[in-house]
């Protein structure tokens, strides 16, 4: 191969003399190729990208043999000179398009800004260039949109604008740090296609940073895997996925949920536990000085489904389709506007006050974000015991403690966890605590609201394992809300696909995933990045 | 012994604090943050300073009827010990450690002639024959002597404590925090001993317009400052917390009502309310003279009402903050999880919302504490603050204000009030910082 565009040699980064976050790594990126750096959260992949651009926080200590951009060692460059390289020769796209754009500037002026910094061009030319860029990133009607503010654009469009900003100065290397993590699968597929397309047009090199192995397998030419600050394996994509050498890589690949696993589920019929009929949740839209209700946002618009005892129904849909609202209003956390919910034949929607409180033991919920779902000022033991205290006040404190110990054991956490605070645990451990909290009142149904979306794949696999084994042990049913179809295949017995507040398709998991009927389901399935080896 | 209203409240407050400390002593989850406070040097030093102030304030809160030859006025324990300071009044201004008055006067000499000059003070430095030459060596000598006495006292107790504790708590006694605390205690006690010793011979911080000792005024101001800072907070806190949390948590008509109350209250100038209520109290006291016979009782009543009305007018800011924070918290998933678990709403408020807004409460209480002490000064300026006979830093500043334009400047009243106030507010701020850091579990892990 020819000379690398970026060569990093023996790079190490540490914070405050603690353990190294990036530990002696070397790699090279060649012109025109897609290089992917894969790793779980905390493996140091983003820090690596930031240290190349020298954007690390002040307390970081960087040590490197050389970081050379086309043979030019960046370590010898002053901060002033580096400013001319950032954006000009290396572009950068961040994960979150919501917070990466300035909300009080139009998108046009934000793109202009970058061009202005790096080129001395007349105003007209710059304007022309901005329009070209917006066309290049396939934003419809760029002439009008150029005056739009970020909040007027959708998440996908914002990421497109971010890409336009990164491309504005025609860089030779584009660093994309988890560019699609916060986007829906269908949007993700579009953005990835766009990136590929632009790469072909401009011939720049793409450095993709991701945790998603399936995505990487469709995008990258070469892959490097990072674990705890070290690169453990590097290889050409095809080779890499068909023949992984390092045990950590194998572990990662094994942890990936497989779409094919849905065929193994039993289809035996069981009596229904939860019956939902024509369920509606509307949010009123107030207008005018008297706050009259002029219309409703139909978040959940007349859905009906059953969940069988000891089985899992997966509720699939993209963000904003109303799946979380549905889950929360089943628990009466959001008031419903109409329809019936029956659990074990008891009508929940007609209950109020004390009766409702007593019935709460039947349905519990596990939330998506394990960081905000526990009171940071309570001990884990108290968090788990909270439901027992509220619903079974007759149980004395010794029994309660014993019960907490037992629950911690069931979710594979050490016994002394009860005396610690939530912040001392990792994301996966916290999610187990949340599961233990839900289990404490012995519910018949647990609503799992994207319980694994905030977690790494290997941790996700463990959580799914815990959920599955609890189902076998206790016969608890799950309503599993997710956007990830691969996880659905792993855990669900039945699937309901939700689109704009309505269920457009439901059926057994094998049926829906292999023979989708509705056009939207097919679109969803097509957009899921699939590991190349799986084909 | 006579118990004034504010005395009673101060003692109740202290009893509550002690009770709370006793209650929390054995609790497992309190131990860790407490240890972090023990380990923090800044925290312990500011605590020592605070305790020193509080002790003076407490001494000044034990009132009884003086059985002297004068009128049977009500004095405090502090007044009793500081009787010389109280009674050694001069004619008018004199600078710190001065032996003469600050302004020239026509004075009659021993031989009957009159002369335009600085007359000698009646008490300050009156033991000296030739002030010009003897004054500075005398101050140094007496200061050192006092310092040595104080140092000797501290050293004695230190050795005693050391002998008692060293064996059992060897590690504790050798920790660097304990050493720092000892140093601070040593410095404070020795310095105050030196000051007390000197103040028997001189006016250490000078005298004010009517010749009263400024050092005595400043020390008396401690109690007033503490009372205004703590009692006002005590009245303000429940209102702010209860209303703020209820409005944020329940929304709907409860929120509307509470918002209506505080916007209304906020749009009335606080000074008007304060002036009105102070005048009401005065009228009330004038109509019920038999119940308020003594000047001290009257002044105390006025102080109490000032705290009350300051509390009523100052809860809105904190209430707003708490409402906003509660609005955020009620959407947090742990609150929803608690609802799903069937936890009652009152319990959710107490267990999930309240502890998570406490950091805001703590910060604003400390900030309010300082601004309240300052507010007292401003109110005294327009004559609706504490009673003019009450010693307070506000009154001192107010009195010194007019003399700022004088040439040469009379700086000691203002400086004394400033230094005392500064020390108290700074110590409270630093201590609150440490407490907050220690009790925040998210931060505790990082340090």
Q: Do A386 and B442 touch (CB under 8 A)?
A: no
Q: Do B344 and A441 touch (CB under 8 A)?
A: no
The pTM for the full model equals 0.79
> Sorting pLDDT into bands at 50, 70 and 90, what band is A240?
confident
Q: What dihedral angle (degrees, nearest 10) is formed by the CA atoms of A8, A10, A14, A18?
A: 160
Domain count, chain B: 1
Give B172 or B259, the one with higher predicted confidence. Answer: B259
Whether cis (ω within 30° of 0) applies to the bond prior to B434 is: no
What is the average pLDDT across A126-136? 90
CA angle A337, A342, A343 (to 5 degrees): 130
pLDDT above 50 (res B447):
no
Q: Which of B32, B256, B328, B333 to mutate to test the interface with A (most CBs of A within 10 A)?
A: B333
Domain interval for residue B229: 221-446
Question: Which pLDDT belongs to residue B446?
Answer: 42
A positions 351-370 inside 8 Å of B (CB) = 357-358, 360-361, 363-365, 367, 369
CB A215 within 8 A of CB A529: yes
Q: Which of A377, A378, A433 to mutate to test the interface with B (most CBs of B within 10 A)?
A: A377
The whole-angstrom distance between A439's CA and the closest CA on chain B is: 10
| Chain B residues in contact with A367 (beta carbon < 8 A) | 333, 336-337
CB A495 within 8 A of CB A509: yes
* Other Cβ atoms closer than 10 A to B59: 18
- Written as six digits, the tokens of A387 are 């439901």
DSSP-assigned beta bridge partners for residue A225? A38, A233
Report yes or no: B341 at the A interface, CB cutoff 8 Å: yes
* Residues whose CB is less than 8 angstroms from the CB of residue B30 and which lie 6 or more positions away in sequence, other chains included: B24
pLDDT above 60 (res A1):
no
- Written as six digits, the tokens of B196 are 């007390």
- What does pLDDT average to over chain A? 86
Instruction: Give chain B's largest Cα–Cα span.
Output: 96
Instruction: Please check whether residue B55 lies inside any domain of the structure.
Output: no
Q: Do B342 and A361 touch (CB under 8 A)?
A: yes
- Written as six digits, the tokens of B337 are 């999880």
CB B157 within 8 A of CB B116: no
CA angle B30, B36, B40 (to 5 degrees): 145
What is the average pLDDT across B134-161? 87
| Chain B residues in contact with A376 (beta carbon < 8 A) | 356, 441-442
First to last CA, chain B: 49
Instruction: Please check whether residue B124 lies inside any domain of the structure.
Output: no
pLDDT above 60 (res B69):
no
The whole-angstrom distance between B436's CA and the closest CA on chain A is: 13
> Sorting pLDDT into bands at 50, 70 and 90, what band is B72?
low
CA distance B278 to B300: 12
Rama region for A534: left / alpha / beta (φ>0; ψ in -120 to 50; rest): alpha
- Written as six digits, the tokens of A479 are 């309503």
Q: What percent of chain A has pLDDT over 90?
A: 14
- ipTM, two decimals, is 0.80
Report yes or no: B29 at the A interface, CB cutoff 8 Å: yes
Residue B1, helix vs strand vs coil: coil
The whole-angstrom distance between A104's CA and the closest CA on chain B is: 24
The whole-angstrom distance between B352's CA and the closest CA on chain A is: 6
For residue B200, which of B101, B81, B58 has the smallest C-alpha distance?
A: B81
Q: Do B355 and A328 touch (CB under 8 A)?
A: no
Among A365, A378, A424, beta carbon nearest to B445:
A424
| Chain B residues in contact with A378 (beta carbon < 8 A) | 351-352, 355
Report yes or no: A427 at the B interface, CB cutoff 8 Å: no
Task: State the Rg of chain A over Cα.
Answer: 26
pLDDT above 90 (res A446):
yes
A positions 317-336 inside 8 Å of B (CB) = 328, 331, 333
The whole-angstrom distance between A207's CA and the closest CA on chain B is: 33
- Written as six digits, the tokens of B255 are 């929120």
- Written as six digits, the tokens of B275 are 């002036």
Instruction: Please check whether residue B399 lies inside any domain of the structure.
Output: yes
Laid out side by side, the sheet with A230-236 consists of A90-93, A173-177, A205-210, A34-39, A222-227, A230-236
Instruction: Please check whether residue B153 lies inside any domain of the structure.
Output: no
DSSP 8-state assignment for residue B385: S
Q: Kindly state the helix (H) or strand (E) to which residue A522 belongs, with its residue range.
A: helix A519-527
Question: Which pLDDT belongs to residue A208?
Answer: 92
Q: Do A390 and B343 touch (CB under 8 A)?
A: yes
- What are the b/e assignments for A95-129, b being 16+ CB within 10 Å? bebeebbeeeebbbebbbebbeebeeeeeeebeeb
Question: Which pLDDT belongs to residue A378?
Answer: 87
* Residues whose CB is less than 8 angstroms from the CB of residue B263 and which lie 6 or more positions away in sequence, other chains included: none
* Residues whose CB is less than 8 angstroms from the CB of residue A453 and which lie 6 or more positions away in sequence, other chains included: A368, A482, A483, A484
Among A378, A386, A419, beta carbon nearest to B341:
A386
DSSP 8-state assignment for residue B100: B
Instruction: Please check whether residue B227 lies inside any domain of the structure.
Output: yes
Report yes or no: B337 at the A interface, CB cutoff 8 Å: yes
| Chain B residues in contact with A426 (beta carbon < 8 A) | none
The whole-angstrom distance between B444's CA and the closest CA on chain A is: 10
CA distance A126 to A163: 17
Instruction: Please check whether residue B187 lies inside any domain of the structure.
Output: no
> Sorting pLDDT into bands at 50, 70 and 90, what band is A267?
low
Question: Which pLDDT belongs to residue A36?
Answer: 92
CB A312 within 8 A of CB A492: yes
Q: Do B351 and A378 touch (CB under 8 A)?
A: yes
- Closest Cα in chain A to B441: A377
DSSP 8-state assignment for residue A308: E
Question: Which pLDDT belongs to residue B442?
Answer: 60
Q: What percent of chain A has pLDDT over 70?
A: 98
- Closest Cα in chain A to B439: A377
Report yes or no: A378 at the B interface, CB cutoff 8 Å: yes
Instruction: Please check whether residue B343 lies inside any domain of the structure.
Output: yes
Q: Do B342 and A421 touch (CB under 8 A)?
A: no
CB A180 within 8 A of CB A215: yes
- Written as six digits, the tokens of B351 are 């267990």
Report yes or no: B28 at the A interface, CB cutoff 8 Å: yes
CA distance A330 to A275: 11
The whole-angstrom distance between A459's CA and the closest CA on chain B is: 21
CA distances from B57 to B7, B14, B52 (A): 10, 11, 9
Q: Do B356 and A364 touch (CB under 8 A)?
A: no
**What would the pLDDT profile of A370-398 be if each residue is shown by its tens digit?**
888 888 888 899 999 998 988 888 888 89
- Written as six digits, the tokens of A317 are 């849909």
* Other Cβ atoms closer than 10 A to A137: 24
Report yes or no: B332 at the A interface, CB cutoff 8 Å: yes
> Sorting pLDDT into bands at 50, 70 and 90, what band is B441?
low
pLDDT above 90 (res A272):
no
> Sorting pLDDT into bands at 50, 70 and 90, what band is A263?
low
For residue A488, which of A179, A155, A95, A185 has the smallest C-alpha distance?
A: A185
The whole-angstrom distance between A47's CA and the closest CA on chain B is: 20
For residue B325, which of B236, B433, B235, B241 has the smallest C-alpha distance?
A: B241
Task: State the Rg of chain B over Cα.
Answer: 26
For residue A496, which of A471, A519, A475, A521 has the smallest C-alpha distance?
A: A521
CA distance A181 to A86: 23
CB A307 within 8 A of CB A273: yes
| Chain A residues in contact with B349 (beta carbon < 8 A) | none
The whole-angstrom distance between A469's CA and the closest CA on chain B is: 23
CA distance A449 to A471: 17
A positions 229-248 inside 8 Å of B (CB) = none
Q: What dihedral angle (degrees, nearest 10) is formed by the CA atoms of A432, A437, A439, A442?
A: 170
Residue A424, helix vs strand vs coil: helix
Report yes or no: B342 at the A interface, CB cutoff 8 Å: yes
Instruction: Please check whether residue B54 lies inside any domain of the structure.
Output: no
Q: Do A377 and B356 touch (CB under 8 A)?
A: yes
| Chain B residues in contact with A360 (beta carbon < 8 A) | 340-342
> Sorting pLDDT into bands at 50, 70 and 90, what band is B369?
confident
What is the average pLDDT across A151-177? 88
The whole-angstrom distance between A421's CA and the closest CA on chain B is: 7
Q: Which of B31, B331, B341, B346 to mutate to test the interface with A (most CBs of A within 10 A)?
A: B341
Instruction: Give the CATH number, domain containing residue B230.
Output: 1.10.3720.10
Report yes or no: A437 at the B interface, CB cutoff 8 Å: yes
**What would the pLDDT profile of B374-431 be if each residue is shown by its tens digit?**
788 778 877 788 888 888 888 888 888 777 777 778 888 888 988 998 898 889 888 8
């Amino acid at each position: 191969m020819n000379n690398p565009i970026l060569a990093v040699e023996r790079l190490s980064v540490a914070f405050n003399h603690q353990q190294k976050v990036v530990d002696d790594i070397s790699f090279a990126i060649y012109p025109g190729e897609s290089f992917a750096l894969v790793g779980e959260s905390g493996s140091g992949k983003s820090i690596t990208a930031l240290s190349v651009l020298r954007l690390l926080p002040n307390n970081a200590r960087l040590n490197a043999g050389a970081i050379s951009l086309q043979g030019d060692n960046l370590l010898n460059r002053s901060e002033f000179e580096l400013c001319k390289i950032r954006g000009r020769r290396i572009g950068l796209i961040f994960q979150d398009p919501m917070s990466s754009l300035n909300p009080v500037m139009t998108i046009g002026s934000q793109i202009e800004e970058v061009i202005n910094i790096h080129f001395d061009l007349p105003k007209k030319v710059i304007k022309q260039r901005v329009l070209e860029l917006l066309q290049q990133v396939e934003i419809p009607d760029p002439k009008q949109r150029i005056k739009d503010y970020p909040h007027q654009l959708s998440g996908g469009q914002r990421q497109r604008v971010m890409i336009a900003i990164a491309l504005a100065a025609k860089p030779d290397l584009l660093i994309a740090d988890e560019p699609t993590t916060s986007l829906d699968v269908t949007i993700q597929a579009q953005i990835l296609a766009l990136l590929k397309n632009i790469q072909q047009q401009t011939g720049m090199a793409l450095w993709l940073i991701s945790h998603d192995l399936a995505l990487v397998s469709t995008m990258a030419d070469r892959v490097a895997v990072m674990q705890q600050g070290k690169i453990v394996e590097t290889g050409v994509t095809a080779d890499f996925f068909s023949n992984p050498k390092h045990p950590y890589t194998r572990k990662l690949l094994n942890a990936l949920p497989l779409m094919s696993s849905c065929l193994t589920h039993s289809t035996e019929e069981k009596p229904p536990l939860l019956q939902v009929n024509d369920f509606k949740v509307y949010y009123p839209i107030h207008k005018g000085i008297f706050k009259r209700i002029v219309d409703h946002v139909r978040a959940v618009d007349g859905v009906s489904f059953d969940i069988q005892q000891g089985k899992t129904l997966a509720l699939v849909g993209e963000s904003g389709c109303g799946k979380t609202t549905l889950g929360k209003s089943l628990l009466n956390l959001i008031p419903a506007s109409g329809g019936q919910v029956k659990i074990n034949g008891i009508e929940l929607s007609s209950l109020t006050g004390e009766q409702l409180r007593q019935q709460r033991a039947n349905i519990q919920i596990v939330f998506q974000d394990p960081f905000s779902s526990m009171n940071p000022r309570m001990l884990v033991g108290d968090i788990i015991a909270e439901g027992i205290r509220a619903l079974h006040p007759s149980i004395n404190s010794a029994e309660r403690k014993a019960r907490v110990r037992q629950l911690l054991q069931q979710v594979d956490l050490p016994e002394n966890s009860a005396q610690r605070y939530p912040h001392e645990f990792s994301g996966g451990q916290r999610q187990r605590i949340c599961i233990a909290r839900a289990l404490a009142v012995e519910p018949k149904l647990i609503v799992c609201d994207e319980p694994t979306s905030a977690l790494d794949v290997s941790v996700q696999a463990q959580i799914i394992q815990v959920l599955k084994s609890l189902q076998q042990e206790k016969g608890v049913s799950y309503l599993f809300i997710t956007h990830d179809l691969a996880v659905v295949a792993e855990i669900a017995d039945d699937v309901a696909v939700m689109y704009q507040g309505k269920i457009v398709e439901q059926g057994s998991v094998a049926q829906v995933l292999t023979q989708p009927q509705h056009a939207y389901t097919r679109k969803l399935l097509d957009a899921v990045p699939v590991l190349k080896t799986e084909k | 012994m006579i118990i004034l209203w504010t005395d009673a409240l101060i003692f109740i407050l202290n009893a509550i604090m002690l009770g709370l400390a006793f209650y929390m002593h054995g609790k497992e989850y309190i131990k860790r943050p407490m240890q972090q406070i023990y380990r923090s040097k800044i925290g312990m030093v500011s605590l020592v300073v605070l305790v020193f102030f509080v002790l003076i304030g407490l001494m000044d809160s034990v009132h009884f009827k003086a059985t002297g030859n004068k009128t049977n006025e009500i004095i405090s324990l502090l007044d009793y010990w500081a009787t010389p300071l109280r009674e050694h009044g001069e004619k008018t201004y004199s600078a710190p450690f001065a032996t003469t008055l600050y302004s020239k006067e026509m004075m009659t000499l021993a031989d009957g002639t009159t002369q335009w000059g600085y007359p000698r003070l009646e008490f300050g430095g009156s033991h000296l024959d030739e002030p010009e030459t003897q004054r500075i060596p005398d101050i140094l000598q007496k200061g050192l002597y006092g310092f040595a006495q104080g140092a000797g006292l501290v050293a004695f107790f230190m050795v005693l404590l050391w002998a008692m504790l060293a064996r059992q708590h060897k590690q504790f006694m050798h920790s660097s925090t304990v050493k720092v605390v000892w140093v601070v205690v040593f410095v404070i006690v020795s310095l105050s001993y030196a000051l007390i010793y000197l103040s028997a011979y001189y006016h250490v911080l000078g005298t004010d317009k009517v010749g009263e000792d400024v050092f005595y005024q400043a020390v008396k101001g401690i109690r007033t400052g503490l009372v205004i800072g703590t009692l006002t907070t005590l009245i303000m806190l429940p209102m702010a917390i209860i209303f703020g949390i209820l409005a944020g948590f329940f929304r709907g008509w409860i929120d509307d009502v509470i918002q209506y109350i505080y916007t209304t209250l906020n749009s009335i100038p606080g000074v008007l309310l304060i002036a009105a209520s102070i005048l009401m109290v005065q009228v009330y006291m004038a109509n019920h003279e038999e119940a308020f016979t003594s000047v001290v009782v009257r002044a105390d009543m006025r102080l109490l009402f000032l705290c009350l009305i300051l509390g009523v007018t100052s809860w809105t800011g904190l209430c707003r903050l708490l409402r906003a924070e509660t609005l955020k918290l009620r959407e947090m998933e742990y609150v929803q999880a608690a609802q799903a678990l069937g936890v009652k709403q009152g319990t959710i408020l107490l267990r999930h919302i309240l502890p998570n807004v406490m950091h805001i409460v703590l910060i604003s209480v400390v900030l309010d504490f300082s601004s309240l002490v300052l507010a007292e000064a401003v109110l005294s300026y327009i004559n609706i603050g504490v009673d003019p006979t009450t010693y307070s830093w506000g009154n001192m500043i107010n009195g010194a204000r007019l003399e700022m334009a004088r040439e040469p400047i009379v700086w000691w009243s203002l400086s004394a009030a400033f230094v005392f106030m500064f020390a108290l507010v700074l110590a409270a701020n630093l201590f609150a910082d440490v407490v907050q850091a220690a009790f925040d579990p998210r931060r505790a892990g990082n340090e």
